[in-house]
Structure 1
Amino acid sequence: MRALYVTHPQVRMDANVPVPLWGLTELGRQRAEAFAASGVVPKGAMIFSSRETKAMELADILAKVTGTLVLADHLMGENDRSATGFLPPELFEATADRFFAEPEQSVDGWERAVDAQARIVDTVTTALASVPHGTPAIFCGHGAVGTLLKCHVAGRPISRSEDQSRHADRGGGNCFVFDLAAGKLLCEWTAMEQFAPGWFG
């Protein structure tokens, strides 16, 4: 079964607000709405989402096109970084590099990459089991766990080189198509704007 994983686009960062509560910026919302209107998202598709605000906002925008409900699960959330809280961009990038480079270690208290990978793979597997045959499935989530899912599907080691920022839009709003049961990655990270209708075909 083919499925689409989509990351939230640009978010409004605020050091005084918990990261899971950050929402989309105006640019992020515009990109999500343009993606929803592009014809990529088919009516009737089942939409699964992380419970984090930015992912839910993306999922709600897509659901207006599909005409379906959003099925949210906190287990689809981003890797747990609550031990450090907000980090300035430069420090965050350095810590994220370590997160991917040392997948079996907890970096400054962050959830280990191997644990986050097992969590997202198990949760997506469970979600897909509920999807009727022939119904498209869309997952709205985050860059790090999306990359860990992508690595698993493709049979590749965990690496920052697989991250969305290395392949597509650095601000997020990227997607890839996959078949989890078959273990096939059907495309690399692709920016929303470059994704064409017909990917289910």
Structure 2
Amino acid sequence: MPIAYYITHPQVRIDAKIPVPEWGLSDIGRARAVAMLDQPWVGSIGRIVSSAERKAVETAEILAKHLHLEVEVRERMHENDRSATGFLPPPEFEAVADEFFARPHDSIRGWERAIDAQQRIMDEVDAVLGTGLTGNLAFIGHGGVGTLLLLLLDSRQISRVADQPAGGGNYFAFDIGARRILHAWRPIDDRAPDHVI
């Protein structure tokens, strides 16, 4: 049973003067990505596919160096497009994110609609999985579209109830053949035993 792991980048260095897609990992985020390498499931990964955003690529490169793999970058795996607002202070961002998940058919303050972001990330995952896989792989991406993907694979309505824990640096796993969730979000640096949801 080949497994796909959807991994979100951990903490980033926030800089309101730099476009969000260009933010890199913070020292804490980088340390957590390195700690992920001790996870028992990491060694099974034979392919790494990443969003093109800097924070995702940096996370993917840490994993790829450890596993002696190349990073495949897919531009359309980016986070939901929030360029209409750019950086928002955390309380304002959380309020807009709440609306994004609560009203998936609407563009909230010019953001990409949740239903469109969900279809885009599913299309990207399907494109990768349609290339004749033989083993486990990792998708490195973002919490918003990752949550939308998890919900779709789990046949659930769009809502924020399944959002990843704050701070990023989480992962979920799904059975590639059955397109079935094996477990929901877990911290990348948590050595909890495997179990299904």
Work out whether the TM-score is over 0.5: yes
1:30-179 equivalences under 5 Å are: 30-42=31-43, 45-133=46-134, 135-165=135-165, 170-179=166-175
Residues 62, 152 of structure 1: CA spacing in aligned structure 2 closer, same or farther, 3 A cutoff? same
Q: Deviations over 1:15-74 (max 9, x none)?
A: 000000000000100000010233431266100000000000000000012211000011
TM-score by length of 1: 0.92
TM-score by length of 2: 0.93
Q: Percent identity of the aligned residues?
A: 51
Aligned equivalents of 1:183, 1:198: Cα separation in 2: 18
Alignment length (residue pairs)? 194
* Structure 1 runs, 4 residues or longer, greater than 4 Å off: 195-199
Letter in 2 for 1:46: R
RMSD: 1.6
Verify the 8 A CA contact 1:40 1:195 in the aligned structure 2.
no
* Higher strand fraction (1 or 2): 2
Q: Which residue of 1 aligns with 2:187?
A: 191
Q: CA deviation at 1:188?
A: 1.0
Q: Which residue of 2 aligns with 1:14?
A: 15
Where do 5+ consecutive residues of structure 1 fail to align? Answer: none
Aligned equivalents of 1:125, 1:195: Cα separation in 2: 29
Residues 35, 73 of structure 1: CA spacing in aligned structure 2 closer, same or farther, 3 A cutoff? same
Aligned equivalents of 1:145, 1:20: Cα separation in 2: 14
Aligned equivalents of 2:129, 2:16: Cα separation in 1: 35
